[in-house]
Every structure is written in structure tokens, then in C-alpha cells.
């Protein structure tokens, strides 16, 4: 999937609720369902140019929200930080397994890893 589509999907997930229903529908059709501008226009009964204009306004709004709040940037940063934590926990488990003991501690660390993995969608 194109990086721009992934980026727009994230922006939409975080800030889509600030868009009008029409803008939400157009973003969904264009980015998530891969409709062309002409197909969207036909489906919604508006011109291709109107679809383009709505799409442009919606994107500007989404990027403006990101510039103001930075939630997507924070999301990426947090995922990287959690990834480092998971790697460190995996290293501890590997070291404990090599020593052949500490079963309760290893089980606890595995549970923590599973929790973090689920919490971050990884």
C-alpha cells in the first residue's frame, strides 16, 4: 500500500471525526476503498471537480489537526519506544532461559510482553 494512503488512513483514524459527513465519506471512498474521483462523483451525484475540492479541503483539515495536536507523530514515537521495551524484555527472557531457571519471572515477563504487544497492535 502506498505510504500516502497509510498516512492518510492514520490521519483519518485520529482526526476524521472533525470532518463533515460528506468529507468523511469521500476520504473513505478514495483512500480506504480505492474509488476514483469520477467513481465517487458518480456515486454521490456530484462532479469530479467537487470531489477533488472536497478531498483537498478534508486533507488540509486533517494535516492542520496533526500540525496542531501531533497525535500521529506521538503514536509513531510511542510505538518505537514500546518496541525497544519489548526487545529488552525478550533479551531478559533469552538470558534467563540460557541460565535454565527463574520460571515464574520468565512467565511474568512473557505476560508483560503480550500485554504490550496487544496494547500497541503489534
Say if residue 17 is in the same domain as residue 64: yes
Residues 106 and 50 in one domain: no
Average pLDDT score over the chain:
88
Cα dihedral across residues 36, 42, 48, 50: positive or negative: negative
- Co-location of 56 and 96 in the same domain: no
* Residue bearing the bigger pLDDT, 2 or 38: 38
pLDDT confidence band for 8 (50 / 70 / 90): very high
**Which is more confidently placed, 89 or 100?**
89
Looking at the structure, do residues 83 and 49 belong to the same domain, yes or no?
no
**Is residue 83 located within the same domain as residue 64?**
no
Domain range for residue 93? 74-120
Residues 45-95 pLDDT 10s: 999 999 999 999 999 999 999 999 999 999 988 888 888 888 888 877 777
Q: Which pLDDT band, with edges at 50, 70 and 90, does 1 fall under?
A: low
Number of domains observed in the structure of the chain: 2
- The answer to whether residues 7 and 65 belong to one domain is yes
- Judge if 51 and 83 occupy the same domain: no
What CA–CA distance (Å, rounded) separates 97 from 64?
49
DSSP output for the chain: --HHHHHHHHHHHHHGGGS-HHHHHHHIIIIIS---HHHHHHHHTS-HHHHHHHHHHHHHHHHHHHHHH-HHHHHHHHHHHHHHHHHHHHHHHHHHHHHT--HHHHHHHHHHHHHHHHHHT-
Residues 58 and 81 reside in one and the same domain:
no
pLDDT tier for residue 122 given thresholds of 50, 70 and 90: low
Amino acid at each position: 500500500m502506498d505510504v500516502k494512503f497509510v498516512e492518510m488512513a492514520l490521519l483519518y483514524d485520529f482526526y476524521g471525526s472533525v470532518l463533515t459527513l460528506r468529507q468523511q465519506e469521500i476520504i473513505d471512498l478514495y483512500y480506504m476503498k480505492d474509488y476514483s474521483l469520477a467513481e465517487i462523483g458518480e456515486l454521490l451525484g456530484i462532479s469530479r471537480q467537487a470531489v477533488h475540492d472536497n478531498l483537498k479541503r478534508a486533507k488540509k483539515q486533517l494535516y492542520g489537526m496533526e500540525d496542531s495536536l501531533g497525535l500521529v507523530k506521538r503514536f509513531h514515537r510511542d510505538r518505537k519506544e514500546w518496541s525497544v521495551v519489548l526487545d529488552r524484555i525478550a533479551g531478559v527472557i533469552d538470558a534467563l532461559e540460557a541460565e535454565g531457571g527463574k520460571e515464574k519471572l520468565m512467565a511474568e515477563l512473557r505476560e508483560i510482553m503480550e500485554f504490550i504487544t496487544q496494547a500497541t497492535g503489534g
